[in-house]
Amino acid sequence: MWSYLLRNLLQRLLLLVLISFLAHAVVHLAPGEPSEVDPSNPRMKPEDIARIRAAFHLDEPLHLQYLYWLRDLVTGELKSFKDSQPVLPKIWRRFLNSLPLFLCATLIVWSLSFPTGIHAAIRRGSLYDRTTTVLAYAFISIPGFFLSYLVILWVVHTLNVPVIGMQTFGMENAQPFYRWMDRLWHLVIPSFMSAIAGIAVLSRYVRSQMLEVIGQDYIRTARAKGLPEETVMYRHALRNALLPFVTMFGFLLPALIGGSVIFEQIFAWPGLGRLGYEAILARDFPVILTLNFIAAALTLAGTFLSDILYAVVDPRIRLQ
């Protein structure tokens, strides 16, 4: 098993380098360079552009640029093209902003989807099942950004409270208690809005998974043994139905980076998703590439974790 893990880890490292190289090439393939972001600016002279290109090594061959980027990333010297700020601390600060939103949304999704889906499966065809089915399809179909705007409009109009940003403007000097309550309130709507589609999709998935397991022969065996229905459902069925969701834990990791680009944009949340979006608009290659690198690393780590977890929870799977 250990040799499997080691081999797998090495493969993933190699893959990570490959991904970063490809991403680097792709970003440079896209039209536009940092020097061309503002071509209509009359004060930008050709020699200025040449100077900018030289300063950012943009006049050198691609593979050398890649090596420069890799060297700077490893030594921590990497700086943003836009404001010459070091990239890693910049990302870290934004990450700390994104983290509460991500945690809240994920917690809401996972804690609501499972009970919803499981109950719908157990009471298949009931009013509860049909209601949740309709709601789920409604929330899958309505675009999240549209619903968010509706909610913002409604909250601002009827409750007259601010919802945009991480905190209300002017609250910086308030007492800590009020400041914290304000930040908490600002967290509520964005996290619910970004969780809604997730709940709709995941609860459907849980329901169908549970229904499939309930139809299995071993569930009939469990009933024939004289076990109470709760034991049959929550021990024999649920344990099997949950297996595929273990893999989904792995996919949660990369969502840390790109999970909420849209919602951070809508709610003016200074998080990682928005950082990436702004970096792309500004052709800020170091930031784009580093975010991409971290996302790739998290994806690979996540799938690695899934493989291990799968072997832990499913006795039929052995890592070799």
Partner 1 sequence: MATGKRPLLAVSDLRVSFFTDRGEAPAVRGVSLAIPPGQTVALVGESGCGKSTVALAILRLLSDPGRIVGGRVVFKGQDLVSLPEPALRAIRGKEIGMIFQEPMTSLNPVFPIGEQIAEVLHVHLGLPKREARLEVLRLLEKVGIAPAARRIDQYPHELSGGMKQRVMIAMALACQPDLLIADEPTTALDVTVQAQILELLQELQQELHMAILLITHNLGIVAQFAQEVHVMYAGKIVEHASVHPLFQHPLHPYTQALLKALPRPGHRAERLAAIAGTVPTPFQYPPGCAFAPRCPEVLAHCSMQEPSCLEAAPCHAVACWLYAGSVQR
Q: Which residues contact 281 (CB under 8 A, 6 or more apart)?
A: none
| Least CB distance to partner 1 at residue 225 (A) | 4
Candidates 119, 249, 140; CA nearest to 196 is 140
Nearer to partner 1, 83 or 229 (CB): 229
Retrieve residue 19's tokens. 């991904």
Question: In this structure, which amino acid lies at residue 1?
Answer: M
Q: Which residue has the tokens 């190699």?
A: 14
CB of 204 to partner 1, least distance (A): 20
Distance separating alpha carbons of residues 67 and 86, to the nearest angstrom = 18
Nearer to partner 1, 99 or 312 (CB): 312
Given the complex with partner 1, which of 142 and 243 has the nearer CB atom?
243
C-beta of 182 vs 314, nearer to partner 1: 314
Question: Considering the complex, what minimum distance in angstroms separates the CB of residue 242 from partner 1?
Answer: 10
Closest CB 246 distance from partner 1, rounded Å: 12
263 token code pair: 């919602």
Is there a contact between 23 and 287 (Cβ–Cβ < 8 Å)? no
Where do runs of H (alpha helix) occur along the chain? Answer: 2-29, 46-55, 62-75, 87-122, 127-141, 144-154, 176-214, 217-224, 229-231, 238-241, 243-258, 261-266, 272-281, 285-313
Cβ proximity to partner 1: between 61 and 125 the closer is 125
Q: How far is the CB of 200 from partner 1 (least distance, A)?
A: 26
Long-range contacts of 156-161 (CB under 8 A, 24+ apart): 161/185
Residues lying near partner 1 in the complex (CB under 8 A) are found at 124, 215-218, 220-229, 231, 236, 239-240, 243, 313-316
To partner 1, the closest distance from the beta carbon of 208 in angstroms equals: 16
**Which one, 22 or 313, has the nearer CB to partner 1?**
313
Residue corresponding to tokens 């990369």: 254
In whole angstroms, the minimum distance from the beta carbon of 314 to partner 1 comes to 7
Q: Which is nearer to partner 1, 91 or 213 (CB)?
A: 213
**Nearest residue to 104 (alpha-carbon basis) of 2, 213, 195, 236:** 195
Give the residue among 246, 262, 261 at the shortest CA–CA distance from 307: 246
Q: What angle (nearest 5°) sits at the alpha carbon of residue 176, between those of residues 172 and 182?
A: 65
* 28 vs 223, beta carbon nearer partner 1: 223
Q: Which of 258, 266, 144, 267 is nearest to 200 (CA)?
A: 144
Q: How far is the CB of 313 from partner 1 (least distance, A)?
A: 8
